[in-house]
Amino acid sequence: MSSSPKAAPSKAAPSPASRFPVPALADLPADIRQRIEAVQEKSGFVPNVFLALAHRPDEFRAFFAYHDALMDKPGNLTKAEREMVVVATSNANQCQYCVVAHGAILRIRAKNPLIADQVAINYRKADITPRQTAMLDFAMKVSFEAYAVGDEDFAALAKHGFNDEDVWDIAAIASFFALSNRMANVTRMRPNDEFYTLGR
């Protein structure tokens, strides 16, 4: 007597946040859970980067501490300009997550629904100022030819009103997001659907 074949156990769909294990919110340390819940309350969803990096709590804390220090500080670079650096260099690094997520933030901070696509695809043809183009030229050099950065780069940026601390900021943002871009690609992090329509 033949028995009917057993159905194969269903596999859980892979998380859009990461190919690595994604912990449940209830299992996270209190400080990380509170940070994620605060972001969820503000935006209406949990960006996948928070879930992916929660896999390693110590690195989560270090990552977001540095992120906040770079992206939320006052200074000669506006918050929108900081996001331009992220979007332009992340596109060059082929990081889907960072281009989409930070493109949304750029649209909101610049109050411009077109700017993120322009900067991501070809910032040299975007509707931005010569100052911002010089900023992005330098950010791209840091991303791909940091070994070639020299006094002439500082001098070129100074002509557009950037001081040495601004140059540090541009370089640090490009460098930090080089890490973020690579980890997003390795972890197979996908942008949340909500990002695509924000700021449009």
Same domain, 89 and 53: no
pLDDT in tens, 114-160: 999 999 999 999 999 999 999 999 999 999 999 999 999 999 999 99
78 residue type, one letter: T
What pLDDT, on the 0 to 100 scale, is given for residue 13?
53
Q: What are the respective helix, strand and coil percentages of the chain, to the nearest 5?
A: 65, 0, 35
Same domain, 105 and 84: yes
Q: Give the pLDDT band of residue 10 (cuts 50, 70, 90).
A: very low
Burial of residue 15 (CB within 10 Å: 0-12, 13-18, 19+) is middle
pLDDT in tens, 52-83: 999 999 999 999 999 999 999 999 999 999 99
Residue 20 lies in a domain: no
Same domain, 92 and 44: no
Instruction: In whole angstroms, give the CA distance from residue 139 to residue 171.
Output: 6
Same domain, 133 and 149: yes
Domain termination residue (choose one: 9, 42, 69): 69
Our count of domains for the chain comes to 2
Instruction: Judge contact between 144 and 131, C-beta under 8 A.
Output: no
Same domain, 103 and 189: yes
Q: Is 127 helix (H, G, I), strand (E, B) or coil?
A: coil
Same domain, 34 and 108: no
Question: What is the 8-class DSSP label of residue 26?
Answer: G
Q: What is the mean pLDDT of the chain?
A: 94
pTM over 0.75: yes
Instruction: Judge contact between 47 and 184, C-beta under 8 A.
Output: no
- Give the domain range for residue 56: 25-69
Same domain, 84 and 163: yes
